A and B are shown apart, each in its own frame.
Chain A
Amino acid sequence: MKNSFDEKILDEAKDWIKANQKVVLATVIQTWGSSPRQVGSRMIVNEKGDFSGSVSGGCVESAVVSECLSLIKDNKPCKKIEFKVSNESAWEVGLACGGEIAVYIEQIH
């Protein structure tokens, strides 16, 4: 049996929006191999780069924050990002644990 372990990130998103902040929601949508956070794990990022919650054990959060900031800057609604262990893209971040994750980021508007 699983419980609905809810990390209250969406509640926090509402508080940030109430405080007139721009909020991007990041959600783990797929995982392969051993990845630190399960599908459905969330974090939120505001226009200043403040963040709450997590999508990995600290491995890719900084990259997710900068992607979220670009999303706000370019005023795009959403984007899917994949992180692999041997990621040769510009990120130079990957998961030390050898897993792979896909993170979906979207503006709350």
Chain B
Amino acid sequence: MKIKTLEEILKKKSSKTEFAILTNLENGDSEIYLPGTSPKGEFSKYAEEIENFFKSKKNGVIENSEIFVETYIKPIKVIIVGAVHIAQYLVDFAKSLNFEISIIDPRGYFASEQRFPDIKVINKWPKEAFEEIETNSNTALIALTHDPKIDDPALQFALKNKFYYIGALGSKKTHENRCQRLSEAGFTNDEINSIHGPIGIKLGGKSAPEIALSIIAQLVSETYKK
């Protein structure tokens, strides 16, 4: 691989562009491929196979050839509401797991850049903040403030936009009250039951990093179920 190709790969990765690396295993030539374009030169005759690898989000050697295809897809977007202590540990775990994190918190003293370097922190109320983030059914929401006036609008937005994972921090009692409010707001039982509350797998720990671990474990597990 040429250094120039490596640099281009890193650039595409940091700009979250979807692409594939094509490698000729016989002569070592490699090239970057963008979905929807025609592969160049020696790779051009495998256009269909390459596109299929891309669609199935798989890596591998094209059958009866010496061409290796490695696809890079966009990371899953995770929105955290509440720039709290647990969020700081979630950010650490999410970095190793390559989730793309955005944090929403209208409270300026929580949502400071100093507490969350290198993370997109939106210091606004959820309703306004969601106007700045592109979301879809591949987005996850983790609500951590357990303050209805901050969490509830975010949960409602996530339910309406069919996020694949929605979790909310709070005791059983807090969650019961939350479900009651969502029901009064017109959400169905199925929608309300799709919220993971109290959030996280049963790990037993009570410290901030342990709660963050239990949340991230549930998030990864739900990601593979989809």
Identify 12 residue pairs between A and B in the complex whose beta-carbon atoms are under 8 Å apart, listed by A's number. A1-B164, A2-B224, A3-B223, A4-B75, A10-B13, A29-B60, A30-B61, A39-B59, A77-B27, A78-B27, A106-B1, A106-B30
Q: How far is the CA of A30 from the CA of B67 in the complex (A)?
A: 12
Per-position binary interface string of chain B over residues 1-19, scored 1 when its CB falls under 8 Å from any chain A CB and 0 otherwise:
1110011011001000000
Q: How far is the CA of A5 from the CA of B74 in the complex (A)?
A: 10
Q: Which of A68-101 contact B (CB under 8 A)?
A: 77-78, 80
Q: How far is the CA of A77 from the CA of B24 in the complex (A)?
A: 12
In the complex, what residue of chain A is closest to B226 when comparing beta carbons?
A1
How many chain B residues touch A (CB < 8 A): the figure is 33
Min CB–CB distance A72 → chain B (angstroms) = 14
In the complex, what residue of chain A is closest to B72 when comparing beta carbons?
A4
Q: Report if B73 contacts A (CB, 8 A).
A: yes
Q: How large is the interface on A (under 10, 10 to 19, 20 to 34, 35 or more residues)?
A: 20 to 34
Q: How far is the CA of A20 from the CA of B150 in the complex (A)?
A: 50
Per-position binary interface string of chain B over residues 75-86, scored 1 when its CB falls under 8 Å from any chain A CB and 0 otherwise:
110000000000
A3, B1: Cβ atoms closer than 8 Å: no
B60, A30: Cβ atoms closer than 8 Å: yes
Min CB–CB distance A43 → chain B (angstroms) = 14
List the A side residues contacting B75 at CB < 8 Å.
3-4, 6
- Beyond A25-B1, A78-B27, list 17 extra A-B contacts (CB 8 Å): A1-B138, A1-B224, A1-B226, A3-B75, A3-B98, A3-B99, A3-B223, A4-B72, A4-B73, A4-B74, A4-B76, A6-B75, A10-B6, A17-B6, A30-B60, A104-B68, A108-B6
